[in-house]
Amino acid sequence: MSMKKNSNNILASNRQANHLYIISDTIEAGIALQGTEIKSVRAGKINLRDGYISIKEGQATLNNVHISEYEQGNIYNHDPVRPRRLLLHKKEISRLNKETVAVGMTIVPLKVYLKHGFAKVLIGVAKGKKNYDKRESLKRKELNREIKRSFKFSQVH
């Protein structure tokens, strides 16, 4: 039995989240999927870009995440953007709710991956970045890239 690395099981990631938000905390949650949704998720036909998590009446819900219809699903197919319940403990839901009460805080999906055959989503408590924060992080990223490039060049020659 060979163990796969977790990075091989990543089906979708929200790369834009790190650009738009400052992620302060992450939690792993299960997703309650119905019917053919898991087949589409395993095929990687999921888009997290506009997704967000809302908490109402003690339930965490994954909203605005697009899971494409399964091609062989015919009449059993699902609605691509329906709200999906997240499987979390009550303590985790209440903690997330307390953290998002603060002004400017939101919960966003970061990655969807398989773990022991089940679809899991990594969610992050985030605060929106201002435009100057985005420019600063781009400058820092470019500077690190230049440093690595010059270091690599100096080792070769």
How does pLDDT run across 93-146, given as a tens digit for each residue?
999 999 888 778 999 999 999 999 899 999 999 998 888 888 888 898 899 999
Confidence band (pLDDT; 50, 70, 90) for 18? confident
Domain range annotation of the chain: 9-129
Cα-trace Rg, the chain: 19
Three-state SS at 47: strand
Residue type present at position 47 = N
The top-level CATH class assigned to 9-129 is mainly beta
